[in-house]
Structure 1
């Protein structure tokens, strides 16, 4: 078993197991490895962590919108229209 690091930023929890970054948000998980497997550069690590955050947010929002769509279609359509106008 490798080294595990845990950090929290807002509603996100980021676990690092060796070279793999796992981002949890609202019970959903997204995993991303480092862009360059041979590099130990901190910038690459920060970049992959940011990519994990962005993908995690996309996946969570997609699931939330899908749930909203089936539970209340009128509110979902109104939300889509307001986002299109913004």
Structure 2
């Protein structure tokens, strides 16, 4: 669950009120054009970056205050980690 996530990199507003709700047991994908904020949202939900505002929970744990518990329950592989070129 993400509620109103915001993230800015200098003058660039990467996330501006990002909301997401995915029920337990559901596989969900994020699609959108380059620059839409997909990577920033995933990094925030995976506890790799801190947002400037909003809140998020993964598997019931707060990504800001319970990052270790979030990380114990998720896996993340970027597309650049492909074995086959």
TM-score strictly above 0.5: no
Q: TM-score, normalised by structure 1?
A: 0.26
Structure with more helix by fraction:
1
